[in-house]
């Protein structure tokens, strides 16, 4: 027994040490990184649009929400930015909560997120500067075609959600503290409802998975337009157009960034003429309508 | 019916024939000693009879109907298997008590608990190791373990007892006990015994009939006395006198 | 996370894993023993298959089970997707090959002499399996420990088929992912520690058992 105890305590000790070592760098390891694909570099035949020579090989980290990456928006914008500036943008696409955390810890240079309240907090706490509105997109309340709670003719999101709660129709929430999740929670509180019970399913996953689950469970959910349009599911848009279903995106520079110039270049690109035009056109080909509405302005 | 018979037995590894026995017949209650140089096929003969190895051809009759060995499945062989007891040169003890090891064959045969207790006690008494019943079998000395292996084989009262050089690695003290036990058992139960040994005096002491196996064949077969005193073939003369290079 | 929620998540993890490993043992140990003891035509293929499946990517298992259980899949009528039962099914698929493979090795590692001794003593096929399993128990227990460790720390499959639903299918690993994604690294790390502690405890119990065996063996 004595040997076993010694061995056990040795293991426990090394375990604790190991964990201590791991915990110091937890953030990047869990995030997905994306380095722009080869087509991001300018074609050799074209004359380079004269980026500052020092800016070659420059890299900045953009922490953003999964929606911008999953929808393909960044793939449409970033190659153009790199062509103009020569700056490579490494994208870390995570939930808004984690994206902001990445900014607070100085692990990213620029944030592109959509949770106005959290963004403002980020700036007032002194973590961020140069915050701009970039664009907005829409949220939908979607659900099964037979619409068991009967929300199709309801105009406001608040009333639709109240009716779902009243009928105890299944509703899948992302429950992951993301921008979309925060939007959903704000509508519930607007309707003065505390969603609880077996009808209210908190998936703790991303938008795509949550939509999938809603489809499987014939439930309602709140989704952003881009993710919804990119999936082919047996769910229908039941409520849209209400003002509370608009979803503004902000772009913010991280104050502790070591590359403020490059970060600012990226912000200027997103809020500038070319970036705004690209944002407005994005998705028209595939979905017949733009997924994001450009509305850049300094806050 | 009253005998053990082997017919048309052939065992090959690749295309090399290691054992070929046209016919061998062992009487009930007789003690046979099997001698011969290493690699002659003695062990193979015993292992085939004990259903541990499948021959290319051959049949076996064990105090009953003749059974073709080539197509014999495990389950079909079980009734035959349960008539036999086997002790190998090295005892393999299961990681359990001596009692559990000795009672295993009886438990396989689903005997009553009280009967098992009685028979195991008897067998342990026979090998003079009843004081070790609760000891873990894998902690026994070599000699003790081999005697327990013998008790484990005898407790099921086999009709045919197969011994493959069981005393080869024992000290003289344990050899003498071992020999005494099988002699007693043989005398009391009318069991047929086939015992391989390299110890010629041992074969002389125990066996009633001796077989000389060489190069995969049974070359000579005679009553022990004649076997040793008047060996017929030259090979056996060389072997008995120690001139054969084994 | 609330303390109560944490306990709920831990409890569900333990339940799902334990049930999966128990069922996996019922399937895997006899299979492994059989494969370790007997030869038959096509055995090589079966063994190769089991060894491959020991390293099955959990996510792949998750996708396949998801597609089977989906409302639009062949077993959709059972309504099992996003339930603990679905997680158990996926875990069974993951742990059974491990249990079968490691049992097979453990059985094969036992000298052929044990098999021959049991056969000579008149063991029926079933009695033979039981005897050899008992004899190879040390190796089989480490297989169980490995399977348990894999199941309880697995995340890809349970996330897919369980759905990480709060109060319903949220287990430790999926909770860790969620906490991390929402920026609560501390909570994620704490849960990770609990997970490690459980794995450690479980393995210690098993190792204590094995050591005990070995000590008894040497006495």
* Cβ contacts of A169 within 8 Å, gap of 6 or more: A143, A148, A149, A199, A219, A220
Residue A97, chain C, CB below 8 Å: the answer is yes
Whole-angstrom distance, CA of residue C119 vs CA of residue C129: 11
Confidence band, pLDDT 50/70/90 cuts, at residue A36: very low
Nearest residue, CB atoms, C82 vs list A8, A15, A216: A216
pTM of the model: 0.73
Whole-angstrom distance, CA of residue C168 vs CA of residue C40: 45
Residue C217, chain B, CB below 8 Å: the answer is yes
- A217 to chain C: nearest residue by CA? C71
- pLDDT over threshold 50, residue C138: yes
- The pLDDT tens digits for A148-173 are 999 998 989 999 999 999 999 999 99
Partner-chain contact C121 B88, CB within 8 Å: no
- The pLDDT tens digits for A215-265 are 999 999 999 887 898 887 899 999 998 988 988 899 999 999 999 999 999
- C128 to chain B: nearest residue by CA? B108
- pLDDT over threshold 90, residue C207: no
Please report the ipTM that was assigned to this predicted complex. Answer: 0.92
Residue linked to tokens 């036999």:
B84
Contact list in B for residue C121 (CB cut-off 8 A) is 104-105, 108, 152-153, 156
The pair of structure tokens assigned to C202 is 């479980």
Whole-angstrom distance, CA of residue C84 vs CA of residue C107: 33
Structure confidence at residue A176 (pLDDT):
87
Q: Quickly count: other Cβ atoms within 10 Å of residue C185's Cβ.
A: 19
Nearest residue, CB atoms, C82 vs list A3, A15, A217: A217
- B156 to chain C: nearest residue by CA? C121
Contact list in B for residue C219 (CB cut-off 8 A) is 136, 139
Q: Are C110 and C135 in contact (CB under 8 A)?
A: yes
Helices (H), A191-281: 207-217, 225-230, 260-271, 273-281
> Taking Cα atoms as reference points, which of C30, C23, C48, C6 lies closest to residue C194?
C6
Contact list in C for residue B138 (CB cut-off 8 A) is 217
Whole-angstrom distance, CA of residue A26 vs CA of residue A238: 40
Q: What is the 3-state secondary structure (H, E, C) of chain C?
A: CCHHHHHHHHHHHHHHHHHHHHHHHHHHHHHHHHHHHCCCCCHHHHHHHHHHHHCCCHHHHHHHHHHHHCCCCCCHHHCCCCCHHHHHHHHHHHHHHHHHHHHHHHHHHCCHHHHHHHHHCCCCHHHHHHHHHHHCHHHHHHHHHHHHHHHHHCCHHHHHHHCCCCCCCCCHHHHHHHHHHCCCHHHHHHHHHHHHHHHHHHHHHHHHHHHHHHHHHHC
Contact list in B for residue C132 (CB cut-off 8 A) is none
Residue C110, chain B, CB below 8 Å: the answer is no
Buried b (16+ CB within 10 A) or exposed e, A73-94: bbbebbbebbbbbbbbbbbbbb
Q: Quickly count: other Cβ atoms within 10 Å of residue A134's Cβ.
A: 24
Half-sphere exposure of A233 (CA within 13 A, CB side): 30
Q: Could you tell me which chains touch chain A, where touching means 3 or more CB pairs under 8 A?
A: C
Domain chopping of chain B, boundaries: 3-89+159-240
Partner-chain contact C183 A175, CB within 8 Å: no
Partner-chain contact C124 B138, CB within 8 Å: no
Would you list which residues of chain B are within 8 Å, Cβ to Cβ, of chain C? 50-52, 74-75, 78, 81-82, 84-86, 88, 90, 92, 94-96, 104-105, 108-109, 136, 138-139, 152-153, 156
Whole-angstrom distance, CA of residue A19 vs CA of residue C185: 13
Whole-angstrom distance, CA of residue B60 vs CA of residue B53: 13
Q: What is the DSSP string of B5-59?
A: EEEEEEEEETTEEEEEEEEEEEETT-EEEEE--TTSSHHHHHHHHTTSS--SEEE
The pair of structure tokens assigned to B3 is 């005998």
> Taking Cα atoms as reference points, which of A140, A139, A145, A141 lies closest to residue A234?
A145
Best mutation site among C183, C203, C209 for testing chain A: the one with the most A CBs within 10 Å? C183
- B151 to chain C: nearest residue by CA? C121
Superfamily per CATH, domain C3-214: MetI-like (1.10.3720.10)
Q: Quickly count: other Cβ atoms within 10 Å of residue A284's Cβ.
A: 11
Q: Which residues of chain B have pLDDT under 70?
A: 1, 246
Contact list in C for residue A95 (CB cut-off 8 A) is 181-183
The pair of structure tokens assigned to C92 is 């069974």
Partner-chain contact B75 C125, CB within 8 Å: yes
Structure confidence at residue A117 (pLDDT):
87
pLDDT more than 70, % of chain C = 94
**Pairwise pLDDT comparison (A55 vs B20), residue with the higher score:** B20
Structure confidence at residue A65 (pLDDT):
87
Q: What average pLDDT does the structure give for chain A?
A: 82
Partner-chain contact B156 C122, CB within 8 Å: yes
Range A38-54 average pLDDT: 43
The pair of structure tokens assigned to C141 is 């227990």
CATH number 2.40.30.110 given to B3-89+159-240: no
- The pLDDT tens digits for B162-195 are 999 999 999 999 999 999 999 999 999 989 999 9
Whole-angstrom distance, CA of residue A92 vs CA of residue A99: 8
Partner-chain contact C124 B75, CB within 8 Å: yes
Range A79-108 average pLDDT: 90
Going from the C-alpha of A194 to that of each of A161, A165, A197, A214, A269, the distances in angstroms are 11, 9, 10, 20, 41
Q: Which domains occur in chain A, in start order? A: 54-137+247-298 (3.40.190.10), 138-246 (3.40.190.10)
């Amino acid at each position: 027994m004595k040997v076993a105890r010694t061995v056990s305590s040795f293991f426990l000790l090394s375990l604790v040490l190991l964990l201590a070592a791991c915990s110091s760098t937890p953030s990047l390891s869990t995030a997905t990184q994306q380095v722009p694909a080869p087509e991001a570099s300018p074609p050799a035949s074209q004359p380079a649009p004269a980026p500052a020579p020092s800016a070659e090989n420059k890299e900045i980290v953009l922490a953003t929400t999964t929606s911008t990456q999953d929808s393909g928006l960044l793939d449409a914008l970033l190659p153009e930015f790199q062509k103009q500036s020569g700056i490579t943008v490494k994208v870390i696409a995570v939930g808004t909560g984690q994206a902001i955390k990445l900014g607070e810890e100085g692990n990213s240079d620029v944030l592109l997120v959509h949770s106005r309240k959290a963004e403002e907090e980020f700036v007032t706490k002194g973590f961020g500067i140069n915050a701009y509105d970039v664009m907005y997109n829409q949220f939908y309340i979607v659900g099964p075609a037979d619409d068991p709670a009967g929300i199709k003719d309801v105009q406001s999101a608040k009333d639709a959600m109240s009716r779902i709660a009243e009928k105890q129709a299944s509703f899948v929430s992302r429950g992951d503290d993301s921008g979309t999740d925060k939007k959903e929670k704000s509508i519930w509180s607007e309707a003065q409802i505390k969603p609880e019970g077996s009808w209210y399913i908190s998936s703790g996953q991303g938008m795509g998975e949550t939509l999938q689950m809603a489809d499987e469970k014939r439930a309602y959910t709140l989704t952003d337009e881009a993710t919804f349009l990119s999936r082919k599911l047996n769910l229908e848009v039941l409520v849209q157009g209400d003002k509370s279903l608009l979803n503004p995106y902000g772009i913010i520079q991280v104050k502790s960034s070591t590359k403020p110039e490059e970060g600012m270049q990226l912000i200027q690109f997103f809020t500038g003429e070319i970036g705004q035009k690209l944002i407005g056109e994005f998705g028209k080909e595939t979905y017949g309508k733009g997924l994001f509405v450009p509305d850049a302005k300094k806050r | 019916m009253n005998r053990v018979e082997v017919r048309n037995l052939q065992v090959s590894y690749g295309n090399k024939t290691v054992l070929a026995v046209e016919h061998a017949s062992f009487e009930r209650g007789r003690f046979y000693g099997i001698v011969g140089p290493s690699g002659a096929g003695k062990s193979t003969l015993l292992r085939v009879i004990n259903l541990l190895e499948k021959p290319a051809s051959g049949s076996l009759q064990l105090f009953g109907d003749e059974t073709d060995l080539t197509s014999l499945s495990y389950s079909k062989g079980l009734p035959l298997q349960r008539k036999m007891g086997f002790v190998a040169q090295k005892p393999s003890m299961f990681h359990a008590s001596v009692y559990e090891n000795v009672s295993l064959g009886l438990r396989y045969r689903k005997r009553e608990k009280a009967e098992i207790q009685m028979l195991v006690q008897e067998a342990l008494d026979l090998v003079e190791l009843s004081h070790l019943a609760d000891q873990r079998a894998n902690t026994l000395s070599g000699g003790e373990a081999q005697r327990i292996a013998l008790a484990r084989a005898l407790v099921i009262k086999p009709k045919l007892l197969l011994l493959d050089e069981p005393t080869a690695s024992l000290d003289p003290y344990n050899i003498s006990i071992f020999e005494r036990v099988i002699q007693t058992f043989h005398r009391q139960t009318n069991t047929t015994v086939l015992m391989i040994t390299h110890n010629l005096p041992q074969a002389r002491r125990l066996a009633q009939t001796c077989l000389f196996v060489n190069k995969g064949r049974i070359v000579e077969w005679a009553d022990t006395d004649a076997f040793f005193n008047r060996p017929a073939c030259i090979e056996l003369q060389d072997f008995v006198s120690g001139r054969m290079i084994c | 996370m609330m303390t109560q929620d944490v306990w709920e998540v831990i409890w569900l993890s333990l339940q799902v894993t334990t049930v999966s490993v128990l069922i996996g043992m019922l399937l895997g140990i006899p299979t492994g023993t059989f494969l370790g003891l007997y030869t038959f035509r096509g055995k090589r293929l079966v063994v190769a298959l089991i060894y491959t499946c020991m390293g099955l990517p959990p996510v792949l298992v998750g996708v396949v089970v998801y597609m089977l259980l989906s409302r639009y899949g062949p077993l959709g009528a059972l309504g099992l997707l996003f339930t603990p039962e679905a997680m158990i099914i996926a875990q069974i698929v993951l742990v059974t090959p491990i249990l079968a493979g490691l049992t097979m090795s453990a059985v094969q590692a036992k000298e052929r002499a044990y098999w021959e001794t049991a056969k000579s003593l008149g063991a029926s096929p079933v009695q033979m399996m039981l005897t050899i399993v008992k004899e190879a128990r040390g190796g089989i227990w480490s297989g169980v420990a490995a399977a348990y460790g894999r199941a309880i720390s697995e995340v890809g499959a349970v996330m897919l088929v369980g759905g990480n639903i709060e109060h319903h299918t949220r287990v430790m690993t999926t909770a860790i992912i969620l906490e991390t994604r929402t920026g609560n690294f501390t909570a994620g790390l704490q849960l990770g520690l609990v997970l490690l502690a459980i794995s450690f405890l479980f393995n210690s119990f098993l190792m204590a058992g094995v050591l005990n065996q070995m000590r008894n063996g040497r006495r």
